[in-house]
Structure 1
Amino acid sequence: MKIMKLTRLLGLLVAFTAPAALFGQADQITFHEDIEPILQRSCQGCHRDGGVGPMPLVSFDQVAPFAGLIEYKTAIRDRAGAMPPWYVEKGIGIQEFKNDVSLSDAEIAAISQWARSGTPEGDPANAPTPLVFDDSIKWTAGEPDLILSSNEVTKLSGTADWWGEIDSMLVDIPEDRWVKSVEVVEVNDVNNQAAKSSDTVGGAYIFHHMIWGTASLDENGNRAGRSLAWPVHEVGRNADIFDDDAGRLLTAGSYLVSDSVHLHSNGRDTTAHLEIGFRFHPIGYKPKFKDAFFNAQGNGVDISIRGDEKDQELHAYTTLAEHTKISTFEPHLHAPGERMCLEAIWGYSVETLSCVGYDHNWVRGYAYADDSAPLLPKGTILHIVGYMNNSDTNPNVPDPRNWQGSGNRSVTNMFIDLGIRVTMTDEQFFEEMEKRRQNLNLGPNDHVVGCPLCLVPLVQPIDSASVSQSLTNDVALQEAN
């Protein structure tokens, strides 16, 4: 018993002292040396004067009064209400993503220790260089090459929701351009640091969502031909980043169009417009793969969520008809949704690619890092699992006694992965796996999450022609089974 008590005591001492050791402080965690760099990287993009955050978190005097709240919010980690709003679960599946603003365990522990030890300021001379907050900071993927602005709309306080279309916007560029990322930002006259009528990020905006595309218009302003769909804009949405080898084509002289805009009152009279920012590949860029396409895997028909019950699951499966690289994972649920997991089933292998928490106030898309994006052979079965909590322990559910089914409203439900994918030929697929092996310096005893065939040539080295034939046969056998 004494040994157990001593072990526990040592464990507590290690947990308490580790943050100071990791952050280079012999005795204490301080604001300027340890906390301010974390806030600059992961918080101040929103929590600054004029930002969407309810309070600026830039100076020591601004941050110290909220130390306890910051400790609480960061400790939530990957569930609704966590800050920063990044919900990838640590230790499960792929962990490398683009524009990842999440905090490490050491950073969360450092914030907690700082908050509980009296919020020492430290030496201002050791503070990092202050960030410059100009208009470009609202673009999380980088400043756009082209910005289109919608017409302004005004939503009066307390009025009913509105659905409809906005004026079309001319894509005024001299030639067609391939797009590497797109981001939609609402610009409005809300002062988010003033008193608010809502505690959610939805209270800072009036655009709930916009389903949009680009299309040619005839002389009467009507669409000529089919529209090219682009990622849906939703409250709290981050940038959509396409695969470097599979941009999306923006046609010169086309128009941005939408007949599915949803406006809601945020509790005050608000005037707003949307800005759509496109970042381009260099002129002359040619995509290696087919256009990036937006997956809509899910089951929106058979949703049945019982009342007063948590830990309910929804399942959906799809079989890949072509070799596929998954560029992004984007869970879409509604109020009862707490998390979604993505699995890949190949032969006898069942592998979790990602599990992420869900917060309907912050709809996130998670772009895998270049050498971490799943490379899956055709015949792979993708399985998504939605975890639903329709009980009084979920504050997002207005009345958990009610059964819930499918629908477009937030009080009904959706169950979809809206991630971006690209498809590949046999030759491209083998080439991508070889590049992955080289970039990660893989050996025969390594394992790569999300690439079930990456190590086949290393386990059984043979000539390249035989490798290609062997993998093709393996794919064919899997399809036959």
Structure 2
Amino acid sequence: MCAMEAGKTVGLGFRIGTAWLLAALVALVMPFGLSAAPAGVPAEVTFTRDIAPIVQRSCENCHRPGGVAPMSLATYEEARPWARAMKTRTSIGPKAGVMPPWYVEKNIGIQKFHNDPSLSDDEIATIAKWADSGAPRGNPADMPPPKQYIDNAAWAIGAPDLIVKMQEIEVKATAPDWWGEVPSVPTGLTEDRYVAALEIKEVNDVDSHAGSGRATVGGRFVFHHMIWRTQVLDGKSDQEQDPLAIFNDEEAVNWPVHEVGRNADFFDPKSARLLKAGSSVVSDSVHLHSNGRDTRAHLEIGFKLMPKGYVPTYKRAIFGLGNGVDIDIKAMEANQQLHAYTVLQQHTKIISFEPHLHAPGARMCLEAIWGYTIQTLNCVGYDHNWVRGYDYTDESAPLLPKGTILHIVGFMDNSPSNKNIPDPRNWQGSGNRSVANMFIDLGIRLALTDDQFQEEMAKRREKLHLTKNDVVIGCPLCLVTPVPAPAKASGGQQQ
């Protein structure tokens, strides 16, 4: 648990005793039987005034005509039949099935992220009240202008500067899981450029309104994941390439793993990744998982480029955090825990937290241990149909000194209540199949020099107006004022 002091807290830590005491005091002073509505919920809720703005901000990217969701919610006529479902799916908390698919637990840890579509408690209560009140339309004049989309495959990163289309693959309805290599595809880039943001989409021939596919992980999609890199092949075939090149940034550049339902990546402005002229997209680790239909599909990779002349100043930190073959999950049991640790060998800035579990995965927490201080950076639910990467804002990204212990805790559900498990009577270990197990944090991190680490903490102190009485989740040394270097003696004087 976090060591807490008087003053403001940047982020939330485990304070179970305090929370219990406050709840007890509230229970004592509230009249028995009184149920107060959230302060931000209107007395009368209508679609045009109250619901449509929420839908446009947090739902329409998928739930619109031609979107990937099975139904559109863009108009009253489209949303009205789904009012009860909207109430149910938005109110189940940060776990599998919630909509929008964002699983950060809001009562603990850092709460500032880029591109957070989640709903506030007031917004969830507003949707519930609208559904319970008969889902009224309201005044048509209150309806916000419809959102405009460039096309039916809108990109979260904006219009890409470069799109690379991978080769189409057919996956039969009854096909087993498949892992292997796919043909490389040239990027067509004629000059070296750095990448600011990246997004990968699966494009397939499954009708988005034909249901969600097989009742298993992935829904209507067939690409479970793709581990990939870009590399200048120099006329060699994929088989002739040096297999060790993937470990050398001079030879190949590794990119975030594509997973089912994964959101876009926005790289730190100081550490954009290099996309070399004449490079190709190369993958020798694609995992295909049937969706229960004969499906033809391919991946499209969208790159948003930095301005010409950009040069990165920070380097990536490359280390693993997770378990390999030592996963042990009992049959017919929920809420089982897995643990993994690593010690930071460099000062580190964590750009994103990305839990990777498989079908039994229900939740993951990330902790930072520095001396006697244990801080829970985040706990998030997990849905293997919607793999999320959580990108911290610059002022909230954890700044951790060399020697910090990073600890992840995975919560696994191998019980009948987990619909992704084919047969919970089976013991489960590690494995590549969607219905087996992995336990990894795939987040992006930066390695900082001593000077960069001090500069980042100084910027954090100034940005957040921190005082010695504040607590900063994820920055254990932010409030430690550096000792000035001793002044150099003037020339000619003996010491």
* TM-score, with length taken from structure 2: 0.87
Task: State yes or no: 1:300 paired with 2:318.
Answer: no
RMSD across aligned C-alpha pairs, in angstroms?
Answer: 2.0
2:420 touches 2:435 (CA, 8 Å); kept in 1? no
2:338 matches 1:274? no
| SS of alignment partner, residue 37 of structure 1 | helix
Q: Partner of 2:173 in structure 1?
A: 157
User: Does 2:355 correspond to 1:331?
Assistant: yes
Deviation at 1:209, TM superposition (A): 1.4
Question: Is the CA contact (8 Å cut-off) linking 1:181 and 1:242 kept in structure 2?
Answer: yes
The Cα offsets for residues 164-199 of structure 1, whole Å up to 9 and x where unpaired, read as 332212122232111122111011222111355435
CA deviation vs aligned residue, 1:349-389 (integer Å, no higher than 9, x gap): 00000100011111111011110000000010111111112
Letter in 2 for 1:401: R
2:419 matches 1:395: yes
Structure 1 ranges of 4+ moved more than 4 A = 3-6
Find the counterpart in structure 1 of residue 466 from structure 2: 442
**2:454 aligned with 1:430:** yes
Asked if structure 1 preserves the Cα contact closer than 8 Å seen for 2:362 and 2:382, the reply is yes
2:390 aligned partner: 366
Q: Which of 219, 229, 235 is the equivalent residue of 2:235?
A: 219
Verify the 8 A CA contact 1:201 1:236 in the aligned structure 2: no
Structure 1 residue 206: deviation in Å?
2.0
Kept after mapping to 1: 8 A contact 2:217/2:420:
no
Of 325-334 and 129-138, more deviation after overlay is shown by 129-138
The alpha-carbon distance between structure 1 residues 237 and 142, as it changes in their structure 2 partners (threshold 3 A), is: same
Cα distance in 1, alignment partners of residues 90 and 404 from structure 2: 36
Match of 2:255 among 224, 230, 233: 230
Q: For residue 267 of structure 1, report the CA deviation from its aligned partner.
A: 2.5
**Matching residue's letter, 1:391:** S
Query: Secondary structure, in 3 states, of the residue corresponding to 1:157?
Result: coil
2:69 — aligned with what? 53
In the alignment, structure 1 residue 319 sits paired with structure 2 residue 339: no
- How far off its partner does 1:54 sit? 1.2
- Is the contact made by 2:334 and 2:415 (CA closer than 8 Å) also made in structure 1? yes
Aligned to 1:74: 90
List alignment gaps of at least 5 residues for structure 1: 467-481
Is 1:257 matched up with 2:278?
no
User: Do the aligned partners of 2:227 and 2:257 also contact (CA within 8 Å) in 1?
Assistant: yes
Q: Which residue does the alignment assign to 1:65?
A: 81
Instruction: Calculate the TM-score normalised by the size of structure 1.
Output: 0.89
Q: Deviations over 1:220-245 (max 9, x none)?
A: 42435443221111111111222121
Q: Tell me by how many angstroms 1:452 deviates.
A: 0.4
Aligned counterparts of 2:28 and 2:235: Cα–Cα separation in 1? 81
Aligned residue for 1:109? 125
Partners of 1:136 and 1:143 within 8 A in 2: no
User: 1:13-71 deviations in whole A, cap 9, x for unaligned?
Assistant: x22x6343xxxx4x301101111111111111111122111111111011111111111
| Whole-angstrom distance in 2 between the partners of 1:159 and 1:308 | 27
Residue 122 of structure 2 aligns to which amino acid in structure 1?
A: A
Is the CA contact 1:50–1:191 (under 8 Å) kept in the aligned structure 2?
no
Q: 1:385 aligns with which of 409, 412, 418?
A: 409
Query: How many angstroms does 1:200 deviate by?
Result: 5.8
Q: Which residue identity is paired with 2:298? A: H
Between the aligned partners of 2:235 and 2:425, the Cα distance in structure 1 is 54
Change (3 A) 1:263 1:389: closer
Per the alignment, do residues 276 and 6 of structure 1 end up closer, same or farther by CA in structure 2, a change over 3 Å counting? closer
Contact 1:52–1:204 (8 Å) recurs in 2: no
Match in the other structure for 1:415: 439
Three-state SS of the structure 2 residue aligned to 1:168 is strand
**Partner residue of 2:400?**
376
Structure 1 residues 394 and 160: CA distance shift in structure 2, 3 A = closer
3-state DSSP of counterpart to 1:210: strand
Seen in structure 2, the aligned counterparts of structure 1 residues 332 and 58 have a Cα distance that, compared at 3 Å, is same
Letter in 2 for 1:378: K
Match of 2:60 among 41, 44, 47: 44
CA contact (8 A) 1:80 1:359 kept: yes
Q: Which runs of 5+ in 2 are unaligned?
A: 1-26, 247-251, 487-495
Q: Aligned to 1:81, what secondary structure does the other structure show?
A: coil
Structure 2 CA distance for aligned equivalents of residues 316 and 80 of structure 1: 23
Q: What is the CA-CA distance between 1:439 and the residue it aligns to?
A: 1.1
Identify the structure with bigger relative contact order (alpha carbons < 8 Å, sequence gap 6+): 2
Distance 2:183 2:325 in 1: 33
- Residue in 1 that maps onto 2:46: 30
Contact preservation (8 Å) 1:96, 1:372: yes
Out of 21, 31, 39, the residue aligned to residue 18 of structure 1 is 39
> C-alpha distance in 2, partners of 1:269/1:112?
38
Give the secondary-structure state (helix, strand or coil) at the position aligned to 1:434. helix
Three-state SS of the structure 1 residue aligned to 2:463 is: helix
| CA distance, structure 2, for counterparts of residue 295 and residue 362 of structure 1 | 24
* 8 Å Cα contact 1:207/1:261 also seen in 2: yes
Higher helix share: 1
Matched with 2:430 is 406
